[in-house]
Amino acid sequence: MPEIINISDAEDPRVAPYRDVRERDLVGREGLFIAEGEVVLRGLLDSSGHRPLSLLIAEKRIGGLADLLERVPADVPVYAAGQAVMDAIAGFPMHRGILGLGARAPGVAAADLLAGLPARALVMVLVGIANHDNVGGLFRNAAAFGVDAVLLDTTSCDPLYRKAIRVSVGAALQVPFARLGAGEDALDVLEAAGFTSFALTPSGTLALAQVRRPARTAVLFGAEGPGLPAEIMARCAGVRIQMSAGFDSLNVATSSGIVLHHLAEAIA
Amino acid sequence: MPEIINISDAEDPRVAPYRDVRERDLVGREGLFIAEGEVVLRGLLDSSGHRPLSLLIAEKRIGGLADLLERVPADVPVYAAGQAVMDAIAGFPMHRGILGLGARAPGVAAADLLAGLPARALVMVLVGIANHDNVGGLFRNAAAFGVDAVLLDTTSCDPLYRKAIRVSVGAALQVPFARLGAGEDALDVLEAAGFTSFALTPSGTLALAQVRRPARTAVLFGAEGPGLPAEIMARCAGVRIQMSAGFDSLNVATSSGIVLHHLAEAIA
């Protein structure tokens, strides 16, 4: 059990990174992120790349978190505060009672990430997914169905936004990801690494049930509404999820769950 | 094109039902509901049971909604307001620019709803789903995969909450639903109507891929975390979605997408 450092003043500079965490998503965070809740914190402690820098825990929860605290590295301070001080620091009622400050893993080039994957690998590619809930949901599904890595284009939002991490139930800290550079073409990078790419689109000529998964498979998801750019769809096989004639509309995270569940089982 | 009634004062009593719509979800609504956005409003006009009582549209959007307005019944007033007045009425910036006030269809008993379904039918049952986003997502998937009716237990939230309707993209207004009475047993009602029931649970003995759909099929979903009550699971076949060993966690709406997509194709 690490030493617990008691915080009795919300203005204590040691907890400054936790101050007003809801606003903090909107400003530059210089490689830091906030992880909320017990399950997410466990994910941070399990992460091979991202590192915990400190924890802030409501006093009343310390006793119930003994096994989690055992796994906190010795050089990571654990702060404890009463609920009122904790709420004052966070800027809203912190019912979850446990926050962590993390440092993100150094960025990795998409090509390098792909090169390090096993011969049989599944990659998810996000194009223009700007909604934090959706990015969180996509990562949650990626983890549930064994996706080896995620690539994001320049317009997709950061998976380490507080809300995206929370919605992902920590998966954003566990599934490796890389952001494509401004001039980098997702399909070129994937092809060079031996990946066969599928584009999810309502106009796809392949029904999902027909798709068998090659050894190295990538699946691309675009935002609801605009969908994937025509330029991408013209260059890879389009896959559709068969829906009712009168209501052909799915949330993108739900779509990813359906597609990844199929691919997890449909190994060619 | 119906007559457009101009509203220049946010306090105009004719638009009182639209006032502070974000708060209104929390208070009694006496059989009324608010529908937001063009797609949802089209769903309301298509609904066979729920009825539009009035529309409130930002002036600048009137021109682009001509085909929707053509379908508004003659006795339904259409109010138009400038953006500032509209925002003042709604209590927040109304970017969508179109709201509708609806009257819900008369309640129907679960047994009567089931009795009216065709010989081949798919029913979704929600148990303890108290989150509006999840209920909305579940209805959206129900519509996408041809679910004929939804049953809700007493603890699931109302599909006609504003946010649930919005997240459902209007599906909550289109898929028929019934709420079970306090003493009514979902499985008894389903069995009496000739339905075979499946319970979605991580401990299910049937993998989803094995399930073939009988003529009348019901699938039950519980809340994330607690899941379905043991009493229900003991009485019907448990179905699991196969996930990664290290991360077996899915959002309930995503789970429904995966299950319903499978059932839509796996007809016995």
Task: Render pLDDT for B15-38 as a digit per residue (tens, 0 to 9).
Answer: 998 988 877 665 556 789 999 999
According to the 3-state scheme, what is the secondary structure of B153-216?
CCCCCCCCCHHHHHHCCCHHHCCCEEECCCCCCHHHHHHHCCCEEEEECCCCCEEHHHCCECCE
According to the model, what pLDDT value does residue A261 have? 96
One domain for residues A75 and A192 = no
Q: How many domains does the structure of chain A reveal?
A: 2
One domain for residues A83 and A191 = no
**Residue of A173, A251, A263, A267 to mutate for B, most B C-beta atoms under 10 A:** A251
According to the model, what pLDDT value does residue A28 have? 53
Cβ separation of B144 and A243 shorter than 8 Å? yes
Please state, rounded to an integer, the average pLDDT across all residues of chain B: 92
One domain for residues A248 and A117 = yes
- Mean pLDDT across B236-258: 93
Task: Report whether pLDDT(B236) > 60.
Answer: yes
Q: Does B37 touch chain A (CB under 8 A)?
A: no
Task: Report whether pLDDT(A94) > 80.
Answer: yes
Burial class for A70, CB neighbours closer than 10 Å (0-12, 13-18, 19+) = exposed
One domain for residues B97 and B117 = no
**Residue of A261, A262, A263 to mutate for B, most B C-beta atoms under 10 A:** A261
Q: What tokens were used for B86?
A: 């509209």
One domain for residues A176 and A150 = yes
- Which ipTM was obtained for this model? 0.91
Question: Of the candidates A88, A103, A118, which is a domain's last residue?
Answer: A103
According to the model, what pLDDT value does residue B39 have? 92
According to the model, what pLDDT value does residue A167 have? 95
| CATH for A31 | 3.30.1330.30
Residues with Cβ within 8 Å of A24's Cβ and at least 6 positions away in sequence, in order, are: A34, A162
Set of chain A residues whose Cβ sits within 8 Å of the Cβ of B141? 250, 254
Containing domain of residue B248, as a range? 110-265
| CATH for B194 | 3.40.1280.10
Task: Report whether pLDDT(B122) > 80.
Answer: yes
One domain for residues A11 and A115 = no
Task: Report whether pLDDT(B95) > 90.
Answer: no
Which of A144, A244, A254 is the closest to B137 by Cβ? A254
Cβ separation of B169 and A249 shorter than 8 Å? yes
According to the model, what pLDDT value does residue B25 have? 64
Phi first, then psi: give them for residue A98, nearest 5 degrees.
-150, 125
- Mean pLDDT across B221-234: 93
One domain for residues A141 and A40 = no
Q: For residues B186 and B179, is the Cβ–Cβ distance under 8 A? A: no
Task: Report whether pLDDT(A179) > 90.
Answer: yes
Q: For residues B207 and B240, is the Cβ–Cβ distance under 8 A? A: yes
Set of chain B residues whose Cβ sits within 8 Å of the Cβ of A246? 143
CA–CA separation, A66 and B70 (whole Å): 64
CA–CA separation, B99 and B83 (whole Å): 13
Question: What count of CB pairs under 8 Å joins A to B?
Answer: 79
Cβ separation of A144 and B174 shorter than 8 Å? no
Cβ separation of A140 and B261 shorter than 8 Å? no
Q: Does B149 touch chain A (CB under 8 A)?
A: no
According to the model, what pLDDT value does residue A3 have? 86
- Mean pLDDT across A206-229: 94
Q: What tokens were used for B161?
A: 């909450």
One domain for residues B240 and B118 = yes
- Mean pLDDT across A225-246: 92
According to the model, what pLDDT value does residue A77 have? 96
- Mean pLDDT across A247-252: 90
B226 band by pLDDT with thresholds 50, 70 and 90: confident
In this predicted model, what pLDDT tens digit does every residue of A2-30 receive, in sequence order? 789 999 999 999 999 898 887 766 555 67
Question: Of the candidates B103, B123, B146, which is a domain's last residue?
Answer: B103
Set of chain B residues whose Cβ sits within 8 Å of the Cβ of A209? 265
Cβ separation of A250 and B141 shorter than 8 Å? yes
One domain for residues A122 and A66 = no
Cβ separation of B145 and A244 shorter than 8 Å? yes
Question: Of the candidates B71, B103, B135, which is a domain's last residue?
Answer: B103
Task: Report whether pLDDT(B266) > 90.
Answer: no
Restricting to B residues 98-117, those with a Cβ less than 8 Å away from any Cβ of A are none
Please state, rounded to an integer, the average pLDDT across all residues of chain A: 92
One domain for residues B138 and B257 = yes
One domain for residues B155 and B57 = no
Q: Give the percent of chain A with pLDDT over 70.
A: 96
**Residue of B249, B256, B262, B265 to mutate for A, most A C-beta atoms under 10 A:** B249
In this predicted model, what pLDDT tens digit does every residue of A103-146 receive, in sequence order? 999 999 999 999 999 999 999 999 999 999 999 999 999 999 99
Task: Report whether pLDDT(A243) > 60.
Answer: yes
**Residue of A47, A145, A168, A247 to mutate for B, most B C-beta atoms under 10 A:** A247
Task: Report whether pLDDT(A1) > 80.
Answer: no
One domain for residues B90 and B132 = no
According to the model, what pLDDT value does residue B20 have? 84
According to the model, what pLDDT value does residue A247 have? 82
In this predicted model, what pLDDT tens digit does every residue of B153-210 receive, in sequence order? 999 999 999 899 999 999 999 999 999 998 899 999 999 999 999 999 999 999 999 9
Min Cα–Cα distance to chain B from A72, Å: 20
Looking at chain A, which residue has its C-alpha nearest residue B251?
Answer: A137
Please report the beta strands in B39-129, taking only residues with DSSP state E, as ranges in sequence order.
51-58, 78-81, 98-103, 121-127
Looking at chain B, which residue has its C-alpha nearest residue A248?
Answer: B144
According to the model, what pLDDT value does residue B182 have? 86
